[in-house]
Amino acid sequence: MTVTLADVAARAGVSAATVSRVLSGNYPVAEATRARVLRAVDDLDYVVNGPASALAAANSDLVGILVNDIADPFFGIMAGAIQAEMGGGPSTVSAGAEARSMPGGGPLSLSGPSLPGAGTSGEKLAVVCNTNGSPARELTYLTLLQRQRAAAVVLTGSGADDPEHTERLAAKVAKLTAAGTRVVLCGRPPVPGALTLTFDNRGGARRLTEHLLTLGHRRIGYIAGPADRTTTRHRLEGHLAALAAHGPQTTGPVRPVVEGAAGAEIPMAAGRARPRRGSADAAHDTAPGGPPLVVHGAYDRASGYDAACELLRREPGITALVAANDTVALGACAALRDLGLRIPHDVSVTGFDDLPFSADAAPALSTVRLPLYEAGARAGRLALGREIAPPGGVAMIRAELMIRNSTAPPPGAAGEL
Amino acid sequence: MTVTLADVAARAGVSAATVSRVLSGNYPVAEATRARVLRAVDDLDYVVNGPASALAAANSDLVGILVNDIADPFFGIMAGAIQAEMGGGPSTVSAGAEARSMPGGGPLSLSGPSLPGAGTSGEKLAVVCNTNGSPARELTYLTLLQRQRAAAVVLTGSGADDPEHTERLAAKVAKLTAAGTRVVLCGRPPVPGALTLTFDNRGGARRLTEHLLTLGHRRIGYIAGPADRTTTRHRLEGHLAALAAHGPQTTGPVRPVVEGAAGAEIPMAAGRARPRRGSADAAHDTAPGGPPLVVHGAYDRASGYDAACELLRREPGITALVAANDTVALGACAALRDLGLRIPHDVSVTGFDDLPFSADAAPALSTVRLPLYEAGARAGRLALGREIAPPGGVAMIRAELMIRNSTAPPPGAAGEL
DNA sequence: CTGTTAGCGCATTCAT
DNA sequence: ATGAATGCGCTAACAG
């Protein structure tokens, strides 16, 4: 039914081994026979049997990419960058700093136009798996990938901030690497045995809050991500560190809540009423009467909206809102608008990540830029062994402050009109 | 080195065949031996060798999902929905209409907590492949998947609007299905041999423009997507059909361009200066002096920004802008803001898709809702053969008009203040 | 340079 | 209900 190596060999008048050799390309073959084989392959429309090949060679061309949320561009950008590196041969990717989206085509290609499926010249099948933020699914996908004898696995984004899961993950990573699968972490804390590219979330968050402090803000609300993620914790720690270094928050001049129609009523949850995991609640509340003002929520827009309302209800004197990421920040902006507050005149808002839409938001968002594409590309190269590992196997990726129009001095401060 | 079936068999004191049977679960095995085998599996930390299994059984548990742009939530939502369906056993997904993101975990799970990698009870490894909109990469991925003997392939989003590619694609699909791989199309025009779920882009676009016409708009600019995509063409056709049905566009009352500071200068390209494929150009221009007013661009925000500027430069009398999708619409909104025009007071704007952020935009975007999650979930079920195919193998997915705050009667029209 | 030989690890007959 | 044998399609030594 399905055409095999032997069929091709027969048609080309050579042995199966020879066919295998021309297709692998890693062995000298006479040009004449090579041509005949290629013709036979073409005629028969032969496509290599991946499983058989993987079994015999004890390795596969599958590369897994794990993401927490495939609908979030934060992951999409990284995943796209990783995939872009997975072509055969040397990278054809121009390392342009702003090369967010690959030019048409990209490096992925099979042996040639006339060989629709024959060659095995190094192309990897880079695939992304969506864990939905679930540690269990993460482990499950890792096992599935292990089962496929994947060539490499890259784990992107924040991990579960849970010792038990961290341990299981480390064990899994150890097994994977023992089996010859290269494991690289991109945008998460290091795990022994895996190469890791970790973002400077703490440093970025700290510098962002320092920026606000320098502007004169003293009552700063913090909209954190889900409490059980490492990224959430690190960013929050950076924020708190800046606060601590600056001394206790003063009560400062308290601005009257809101004048006009919106004053009486705090808008409720944005849109849909579905319950969300980790939505704003009092669990991680701040001590009454004292800073810091922190509310946890999911990494999504509705969460930012709710949290902003909650924070302003608790502490109307807030003059700045620091959001866990850009998406959350946009939700917070929407809430402020609905409350009749102007940005940045009444309240400053900051994001994190610098996703593409942040620069275009109204007002343009002050945020922390994470070089997601570049980091992903590098992770991809590490996964392929095409780039030398950083010393100690861990590299810290710098986060860059992007000051735009959503931050300004607080109302009544010097420099204000 | 790596532990195999034989090792497990030895430790359990049974034959390899027996171990295979308990793991497959599709054959009667005594409860006692079954337990022993399971223990051995656990003790040895055995993980099935996917390639070997696939080779012997002549099928694999790999399911491929092809997307045009992994950083675009349009695809992320569909891909996430498809993956969510790929668990073992019956669907545990509540079919809630707004179930955008899966609850923690989702249906994907291995045989049980104590069997980290042994069972094969139906879980599929659903993986997404990013084509970046390149037909060549699309074919390449299809071949790679074919090579892996994938159980199913789901192609999402608009296809290349090119007869040659369509033909190649059809040929590939035929081969895939012949080899036992189920192929389903989600959000694209039908291809013989594949089950397809196609969006009513034409109908949605037509109703959207009719809405504008009913409001009183007569000079409507259209910001189209890349000219070589089927979705682009269908949406544009719907728009033009509405226009044609309504009679020729009248010149209408021409609004003076812009008063004040922004009047003199049309802002240039938003942000980055990198060249974009399919950016606004004169290639598909409208006839001079007459409607329709159409500009093509990429499916991204910057494109929307540029195209809006271009359209207003050409025809300052425009009172409404119809964008190819929500992302483009937001870019257009940004341009209008920078030009000092109010939405919808001066110019109405519409999007397409109804991505999550559209409802929260300022103003909330009038758009056409495509049930992406539901369509993806259905495609996933079709791919697994868990849902009966629609008659003829093709189902049309309805598009629903969502009228929000970005559309209003044109300036000076009846009903205006 | 090319053909021959021997598995890779598992699923599946067929026996028992 | 279980074991023994066979082969899936390919690659990797080994010859020649």
> What's residue B360's pLDDT?
72
Is the CB atom of residue B20 positioned under 7 angstroms from any atom of strand C?
A: yes
Are the Cβ atoms of B123 and A137 closer than 8 angstroms? no
Of B117, B181, B118, B195, residue with least CA distance to B148: B181
Q: Where is pLDDT greater, at A118 or A409?
A: A409
Residue in B73, B105, B108 closest to A71 by CB: B73
**Mean pLDDT of all residues in A385-409:** 96
Are the Cβ atoms of B179 and A2 closer than 8 angstroms? yes
pLDDT digits (tens, 9 = 90+) for A96-145: 323 333 333 444 544 443 344 444 356 788 989 999 999 999 999 999 99
Residue nearest to nucleotide D7 (CA to C1'): B56
Is the CB atom of residue A109 positioned under 7 angstroms from any atom of strand D?
A: no
**What pTM does this model have?**
0.85
Q: Calculate how close chain B gets to A356, using CA atoms only, in Å.
A: 9
> What's residue B222's pLDDT?
98
* Dihedral, CA of residue A13, residue A15, residue A21 and residue A22, to nearest 10: 10
Q: Where is pLDDT greater, at B253 or A64?
A: A64
Paired strand residues for A373? none
Q: Does A342 touch chain B (CB under 8 A)?
A: no
Of B178, B156, B118, residue with least CA distance to B375: B156
Is the CB atom of residue B30 positioned under 7 angstroms from any atom of strand D?
A: yes
Q: Where is pLDDT greater, at B313 or A362?
A: B313
Map chain B to HEC letters: CCCCHHHHHHHHCCCHHHHHHHHHCCCCCCHHHHHHHHHHHHHHCCCCCHHHHHHHHCCCCEEEEEECCCCCHHHHHHHHHHHHHCCCCCCCCCCCCCCCCCCCCCCCCCCECCECCCCCCCCCEEEEEECCCCHHHHHHHHHHHHHCCCCEEEEECCCECCHHHHHHHHHHHHHHHHCCCEEEEECCCCCCCCEEEEECHHHHHHHHHHHHHHHCCCCEEEEECCCCEHHHHHHHHHHHHHHHHHCCCCCCCCCCCCCCHHHCCCCCCCCCCCCCCCCCCCCCCCCCCCCCEEEECCCCHHHHHHHHHHHHHHCCCCCEEEECCHHHHHHHHHHHHHCCCCCCCCCEEECCECCHHHCCCCCCCEEEECCHHHHHHHHHHHHHCCCCCCHHHEEEECCEEECCCCCCCCCCCCCCC
* Regions of chain B with pLDDT less than 50: 88-107, 109-120, 251-289, 416-417
The radius of gyration of chain B's CA atoms, rounded to the nearest angstrom, is 26
- Rounded CA separation A96/A86 (Å): 17
The radius of gyration of chain A's CA atoms, rounded to the nearest angstrom, is 26
> What's residue A361's pLDDT?
78
> What's residue B359's pLDDT?
81
Domain B5-48, architecture per CATH: Orthogonal Bundle (1.10)
Are the Cβ atoms of A70 and B62 closer than 8 angstroms? no
> What's residue B248's pLDDT?
64
Give the number of C-alpha atoms closer than 13 A to the C-alpha of residue A144, restricted to the C-beta side: 34
Are the Cβ atoms of B301 and A109 closer than 8 angstroms? no
> What's residue A249's pLDDT?
54
> What's residue A26's pLDDT?
85
Confidence class for position A1, pLDDT limits 50, 70, 90: low
pLDDT of A253 higher than 90: no
- Rounded CA separation A368/A359 (Å): 11
- Most confident range (mean pLDDT) of A91-95, A110-114, A167-171, A413-417 is A167-171
pLDDT digits (tens, 9 = 90+) for B300-340: 989 999 999 999 999 999 999 999 999 999 999 999 999 99
**Mean pLDDT of all residues in A64-90:** 87
Of A165, A161, A164, residue with least CA distance to A137: A165
pLDDT digits (tens, 9 = 90+) for A313-356: 999 999 999 999 999 999 999 999 999 999 999 999 999 999 98
Which amino acid type is present at position B128?
V
Share of chain A above pLDDT 90, in %: 72
* DSSP, res A133: T
3-state helix, strand, coil in chain A (%, to 5): 40, 15, 45
Q: Which residues of A touch B109 (CB under 8 A)?
A: 136, 140
The mean of the pLDDT values for chain A is: 83
**Domain boundaries, given as residue ranges, for chain B:** 5-48
Q: Does A241 touch chain B (CB under 8 A)?
A: no
Q: Does B3 touch chain A (CB under 8 A)?
A: no
pLDDT of A255 higher than 60: no
Residue in B83, B125, B331 closest to A360 by CB: B331
- Residue in chain A closest to B273 (alpha carbons) equals A98
Mutate which: B68, B101, B164, B327, vs A, most A CBs within 10 A: B101
User: Taking the mean position of all CA atoms in its chain, how far away is CA A57?
Assistant: 33
Task: Give chain A's largest Cα–Cα span.
Answer: 89
